[in-house]
Amino acid sequence: MQILVALAAGLLFGAGLAVSGMVDPARVRGFLDLFGTWDPTLAFVMAGALLPMAGAWWLQRRLPKPLASDAFALPTRREIDSPLIGGALLFGAGWGIAGLCPGPAIAGLALAPAQAAHFLLAMATGMALHHMITNRANTAFSRPSRGQR
């Protein structure tokens, strides 16, 4: 059941991105070009996403559990730390340079596979590097120091 709900949600999200034109990097770059030929489409897409999301949060607070799972998977951390800020900066820079973020890139595989595939390959490489660096750092911090052996 969960897989079907996730598939339906993903298809709906991808269709919304395609219909709104958000799989076109030129449209996203046009939104970010404040002093050139500014394209406000992305602002309308974001504003249009607020209403259903507000409804989803309202509904979530009133449900004892999700319809297709045993519990809600809500974030537990609320602090703003350097990894969050660094990640947001990297995400924003990549989004501005490529004109794509992960959702539109995946949806773009159906419309412009070559362009989306380049982005997704770069994204997967970045994710793998992050995983390797994070694992190495966690391993280094978990080793006992010489005085503790």
User: What would the pLDDT profile of 94-128 be if each residue is shown by its tens digit?
Assistant: 888 888 888 888 888 887 788 888 888 988 998 89
**pLDDT range class, residue 60, cuts 50, 70, 90:** very high
Name the domain count of the chain: 1
Q: Is the pLDDT of residue 141 over 90?
A: no
Q: Which two tokens stand for residue 31?
A: 């939104």
Q: What is the pTM of this model?
A: 0.66
What is the rounded distance in angstroms from the CA atom of residue 5 to the CA atom of residue 10?
A: 9
Q: Which domain holds residue 70?
A: 2-148
- Across 34-39, average pLDDT: 90
Which tokens in the block code for residue 103? 């959702």
Cβ atoms of residues 107 and 28 within 8 Å: no
**pLDDT at position 8 over 90:** yes
pLDDT at 18: 85
